[in-house]
Amino acid sequence: MFVLMPALLALAGLASAAPSRIVFEAETAAATEAPLVVVSADQVPPGSVFVEGASGGRYLEIPEKAGNPPALDKGWARFTFDLAAGGDYILWARVWWEGECSNSFTVQIDEMAPFLFGENATYKTWTWVKYPVARMMRPIKLAAGRHVLVFRNREDGVRLDQIVLSREPRFVPVGVEPATTRGDAP
Ligand SMILES: [Ca+2]
């Protein structure tokens, strides 16, 4: 008994040491398809303007008027990452929406059904948006290990700076979050 206790405590310590969230820059995507492009101050899409305040000075963008489905069924960013622990996750993204016709992506994780991400009404500023938006909604259940996350073109005029996957229900990202990993795990 006296021998077991420290061992159990050590195990509990190991379990809680698994990070409860990961953070990565959108521009570290494993792959992208135009018209979704990586933007920096010296690499701005024609007809667009550089938006200050992005983490790392870079972000992904589908330029306004670049086109959106169903007329144009192109434009995505694919991310690959590893989770140290399984659980119910909240997907957060730091985004900059042009307006009410430019405020969403279609998101898919692994082989799960795609879902609508965004459609909130904060425009022309960097802001954190999450899914699921309410606690009573079905959570994103993810196992430990490798996952694939895809942000697809649903509307143009959208920018994507950082992505967080968190299993802390009370955690809310503020401003720029320190990146803990990349979106292109090999
Ligand atoms: Ca960024």
Q: Specify the pLDDT at position 17.
A: 75
Residue 169 Cα to ligand 1 middle (Å): 24
Residue 26 Cα to ligand 1 middle (Å): 6
Residue predicted with more confidence, 16 or 53: 53
Q: State pTM to two decimals.
A: 0.91
Q: Specify the pLDDT at position 18.
A: 86
Residue 159 Cα to ligand 1 middle (Å): 10
Read off the pLDDT of each residue in 67-89 and give the average, rounded to a whole number: 96
Residue predicted with more confidence, 151 or 13: 151
Q: Which residues surround ligand 1, an ion (CB under 5 A)?
A: 25, 54-56, 58-59, 161
Domains of the chain and any CATH numbers = 19-166 (2.60.120.260)
Residue 121 Cα to ligand 1 middle (Å): 21
Measured between alpha carbons, how far is 58 from 56 in angstroms, rounded to an integer? 5
The pLDDT-based confidence of 4 (bands split at 50, 70, 90) is: low
Percent of the chain with pLDDT over 90: 87
- Cβ atoms of residues 29 and 149 within 8 Å: no
Residue 97 Cα to ligand 1 middle (Å): 15
Residue 91 Cα to ligand 1 middle (Å): 16
Residue 11 Cα to ligand 1 middle (Å): 36
Residue type, 43: Q
Read off the pLDDT of each residue in 133-159 and give the average, rounded to a whole number: 95
The per-residue pLDDT of the chain, averaged, comes to: 93
Q: Specify the pLDDT at position 2.
A: 54
